[in-house]
C-alpha cells in the first residue's frame, strides 16, 4: 500500500486528524475502563473519575510528544 507524502494537503489532513483521534481514544478508553471497573467492583464514580483523569493526562502527554516530533522536523 502506497503512503501519501506529507507535503500534500491530504497527507497533512490525515496527519493532523490522527492526532485528534489519538487524544480522543486515549481519553475515551480511560473513561470506559473506569466505568467498567466501577460496575465490576461497585465503587461508585471514583474509578470512572480516575480513569478519565488518567486518560486526559496520557492523551495530552501524547499530544505534547507529537508536537515535539513535529517541531524537530
User: In which region does residue 8 sit, left (phi positive, over 0), alpha (psi from -120 to 50) or beta (all else)?
Assistant: beta
CA distances, 51 to each of 17, 23, 32, 34, 54 (Å): 24, 14, 8, 5, 5
Residue 9 reports pLDDT greater than 70: yes
From CA 39, how far away is CA 3, in angstroms rounded? Answer: 43
Average pLDDT over residues 2-28: 78
Share of the chain above pLDDT 70, in %: 89
Pairwise pLDDT comparison (61 vs 7), residue with the higher score: 61
User: Are 14 and 4 a contacting pair, CB within 8 Å?
Assistant: yes
Measured CA to CA, the distance from residue 65 to residue 59 in angstroms comes to 10
Amino acid at each position: 500500500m502506497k503512503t501519501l507524502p506529507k507535503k500534500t494537503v491530504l497527507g497533512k489532513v490525515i496527519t493532523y486528524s490522527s492526532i485528534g483521534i489519538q487524544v480522543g481514544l486515549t481519553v475515551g478508553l480511560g473513561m470506559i475502563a473506569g466505568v467498567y471497573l466501577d460496575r465490576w467492583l461497585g465503587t461508585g464514580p471514583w474509578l470512572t473519575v480516575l480513569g478519565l483523569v488518567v486518560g486526559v493526562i496520557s492523551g495530552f502527554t501524547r499530544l505534547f510528544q507529537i508536537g515535539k516530533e513535529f517541531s524537530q522536523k
